[in-house]
Amino acid sequence: MNDGPRAWKWMVPGVGIGGVLVMQLWINEYGSPWMAYCIYGTIPVMLILTAQSVAMFWAYYSELFTDQFVARRRAIATTAETQLFEMARLMHPETVRLLLTHRKTKWRIKEAKLNELVDWVLDADPRIRVEFVEYVLGNSTQYAMMPMNGYLSDKAYTFNPDKLVTDYDQYRAFHKLLINRAMATDSLGSQPGQWIEPWTPELVARQFGIALVDEKAAESKTLAEPELKSVVQS
């Protein structure tokens, strides 16, 4: 049995207030003089009923709004991934192990047309392309992310040849992913998100298996030095 707030718990005292008030008005109009002293009893009763009605009214609708908020937040938080792992409780342990092994993958290959190159997207959010991540991290500083204004155009599809996700949407999706992983802070006004120590553009790139242009150049230089020394010695 649920003893929580109910509609009748504030409606009944509310109706009782009206009934007591009508009775007191009838006494004042048609009652004998000594019955006028009933006002010392009806007023406290009306005050008690008013307090009860207001308290139950507030409790009832507070619980109603809270339930609606929780249901809305649960619907927003429910994704295909969360549903998949909820169903994992009914799976065989070996199947769950294979599922967890598959979730370790950072990147996946998007199927391309015969006359196009293979497109790489982030497994955590397929809307984000690897070229876009390289562009954002390459233009970011050691303290803050690349700002969206000035580097990207609204309603442009520079980093999505299929014209399905705009550059702004890719930026917001990538920024939200970094926030959820505690790599960057939320933006404040016109200020872009800040890196959370110890994360830097280079470390974030390595986390996603990406080598920035500077790192590629440094790596190529490091590999070329032994060859150059061998040529000089010969």
If asked whether residues 143 and 204 sit together in one domain, one would say: yes
In this predicted structure, what is the pLDDT of residue 116? 58
Asked if 139 contacts 151 with a C-beta cutoff of 8 angstroms, the reply is yes
215 and 136 share one domain: yes
84 pLDDT more than 80 = no
pLDDT digits (tens, 9 = 90+) for 1-28: 456 678 888 888 888 888 888 887 887 7
* pLDDT value at residue 46: 84
Residue-averaged pLDDT of the chain: 79
Q: Which pair of tokens denotes residue 100?
A: 């967890």
121 and 211 share one domain: yes
Domain span at residue 4?
1-60
Q: Are 123 and 105 in contact (CB under 8 A)?
A: yes
Angle at which helix 8-30 crosses helix 39-77, to 10 degrees, equals: 160
Say what the pLDDT of residue 172 is: 92
Please name the residues in contact with 42: beta carbons below 8 A apart, sequence gap of 6 or more.
Answer: 20, 21, 23, 24
| pLDDT for res 214 | 58
Q: Are residues 140 and 203 in the same domain?
A: yes
- pLDDT reading at 223 higher than 50: no
- Whether the model clears a pTM of 0.75, i.e. scores above it, the answer is no
User: What percent of the chain lies above the pLDDT cut of 70?
Assistant: 77
Residue 20 lies in a domain: yes
User: What is the rounded distance in angstroms from the CA atom of residue 128 to the CA atom of residue 210?
Assistant: 13
Higher pLDDT, 2 or 207: 207
pLDDT at residue 157 tops 80 = yes
49 and 142 assigned to the same domain: no
Q: Which residues contact 6 (CB under 8 A, 6 or more apart)?
A: 56, 60
CB neighbour class for 201 (10 Å; exposed up to 12, middle 13-18, buried from 19): buried
Between these two residues, 29 and 160, which has the higher pLDDT value?
A: 160
Q: Same structural domain for residues 46 and 115?
A: no
Asked if residue 5 is part of any domain, the answer here is yes
| Co-location of 124 and 14 in the same domain | no
Which pLDDT does position 150 carry in this prediction?
85
Domain count, the chain: 2
- The pLDDT tens digits for 102-153 are 666 556 656 656 555 566 788 888 889 888 999 999 999 999 999 988 899 8
Q: Model confidence at 232, in pLDDT bands (50, 70, 90)?
A: very low
SS3 121: strand
pLDDT for the residue numbered 95: 78
For residue 198, whether the previous peptide bond is cis, meaning omega lies within 30 degrees of 0, is yes
Q: What is the pLDDT of residues 178-205, one digit of tens each?
A: 998 889 999 887 889 999 988 999 999 8
